[in-house]
């Protein structure tokens, strides 16, 4: 995340919006320039649609909303995660938005600081972030702390703001019927199985090399019978990068035993995969 620089923030007021009284609606449109890092914040009664680049859709929209159940006011941030039908593009955009969202929140709150100073109770308001996507895994509504968490302090040498990771405080959906929950669990089970098969397929070149090294080049095995025995994050490199340890079990041989007679442990990060160790239980 780039450090927030107040001198690069350009603020404009629209629709004769005031900086004192709190009246609905009050909306924010934040865009930026990739060339020079300039930020452009428009504050008005409506979103500043002229600022939005509809080919890129990297704007950050904000609006003050009121909870119908308890009348509490909160700041709603809206992001368009998709840009086309490619889920790979959505995954990448989701990562970038999350990396830069803290900076965007600081810019919005700093840019409207006169209004907030005139309505200090709003510093205690919750920030909710709506990630809009056609893919259910990335279409989420999350809580990202309170407005006061992103208040810029000139006396700080560094911007020490909350460093939220993926889905920091997801807002749970209402309780659904047993049939609905069963269908959701079954869908998740199928998705997890597909992810496991895809992971094993990606690791197959490494697996075959280790099988031939340990058992001999003509030794048969069935990659479809391999299984992920364990998976965990072992190292974290910042908010959006981790190293994972994946343990694969495999039945090897013309008459493979009912147990995994070969266990391979991989280390995987953004730079690729490598074999940590290989075990053959029959040697014990």
Residue-wise pLDDT tens digits, 157-197: 444 555 544 444 445 444 555 665 567 677 778 888 888 98
- Strand, coil or helix: what is 103? helix
pLDDT for 180 equals 55
Q: Which single residue is written with the structure tokens 């998705």?
A: 191
Residue that has been written with the tokens 């030794």 in this structure: 219
Question: Looking up tokens 């160790």, which residue turns up?
Answer: 277
- Confidence class of residue 266 from pLDDT cuts 50, 70 and 90? very high
Element counts in the chain: helices (H) and strands (E)? 3, 11
Greatest mean pLDDT among 74-78, 135-139, 236-240? 74-78
Residues 6+ apart with CB under 8 A from 167: 140, 142
Q: What pLDDT sits at residue 186?
A: 78
- Of the two residues 125 and 185, the one the predictor is more confident about is 125
| pLDDT at residue 284, as a whole number | 46
At residue 173, the pLDDT reads: 47
Q: How confident is the model at residue 255 (pLDDT cuts 50, 70, 90)?
A: confident
The residue among 257, 192, 255 whose CA lies nearest residue 228 is 192
Residues 6+ apart with CB under 8 A from 18: 115
Judged against a pLDDT cut of 80, whether residue 122 lies above it is answered with yes
When mean pLDDT is compared over 20-24, 258-262, 273-277, the highest value belongs to 273-277
What is the structure's pLDDT at 36? 84
Percent of the chain, pLDDT > 90?
50
CB-neighbour burial class of residue 76 (10 A; exposed 0-12, middle 13-18, buried 19+): middle
| Residues forming beta bridges with residue 66, ordered by sequence position | 73
pLDDT digits over 16-65, tens only? Answer: 888 887 888 999 999 998 888 899 999 999 999 999 998 899 999 999 99
Burial 123-152 (b: 16+ CB within 10 A, else e): eebbbbbbbebeeeebebebebbbbebbeb
Taking CA atoms, 173 is separated from 60, 64, 140, 170, in Å, by 24, 22, 10, 9
pLDDT of amino acid 81: 94
pLDDT band with cut points at 50, 70 and 90 for residue 239: low
Contact 80, 97 (CB under 8 A): no
Mean pLDDT for the chain overall:
85
CA–CA dist 107, 114 (Å, integer): 13
DSSP 8-class letter at 88 = H
Omega of the bond leading into 25 within 30 degrees of 0 (cis): yes
pTM for the whole structure: 0.57
- H-helix or E-strand spanning residue 199: helix 178-215
């Amino acid at each position: 995340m780039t450090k927030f620089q107040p001198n690069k923030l350009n603020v404009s007021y629209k629709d004769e919006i005031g900086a004192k009284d709190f009246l609905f609606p009050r909306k924010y449109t934040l865009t930026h320039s990739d060339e020079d890092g300039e930020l452009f914040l428009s504050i008005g009664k409506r979103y500043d649609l002229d600022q939005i680049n509809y080919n890129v859709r990297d704007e950050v929209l904000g609006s003050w909303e009121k909870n119908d159940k308890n009348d509490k006011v909160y700041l709603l941030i809206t992001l368009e995660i998709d840009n086309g039908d490619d889920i790979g593009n959505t995954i990448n955009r989701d990562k970038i938005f999350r990396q830069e969202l803290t900076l965007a929140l600081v810019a919005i709150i700093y840019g409207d600081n006169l209004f907030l100073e005139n309505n200090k109770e709003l510093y205690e308001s919750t920030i909710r972030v709506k990630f809009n996507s056609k893919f259910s895994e990335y279409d989420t509504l999350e809580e990202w702390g309170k407005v006061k968490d992103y208040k810029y302090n000139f006396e700080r040498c560094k911007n020490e703001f909350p460093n939220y990771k993926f889905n920091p405080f997801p807002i749970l959906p209402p309780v659904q019927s047993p049939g609905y929950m069963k269908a959701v669990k079954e869908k998740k089970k199928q998705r997890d199985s597909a992810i496991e098969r895809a992971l094993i397929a990606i690791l197959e070149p490494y697996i075959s090399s280790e099988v031939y090294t340990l058992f001999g080049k003509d030794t048969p095995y069935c990659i479809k019978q391999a299984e992920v025995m364990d998976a965990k994050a072992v190292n974290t490199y910042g908010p959006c990068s981790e190293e994972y340890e994946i343990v694969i079990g495999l039945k090897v041989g013309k008459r493979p035993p009912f147990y995994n007679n070969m266990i391979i442990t991989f280390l995987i990060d953004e730079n690729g995969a490598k074999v940590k160790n290989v075990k053959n239980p029959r040697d014990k």
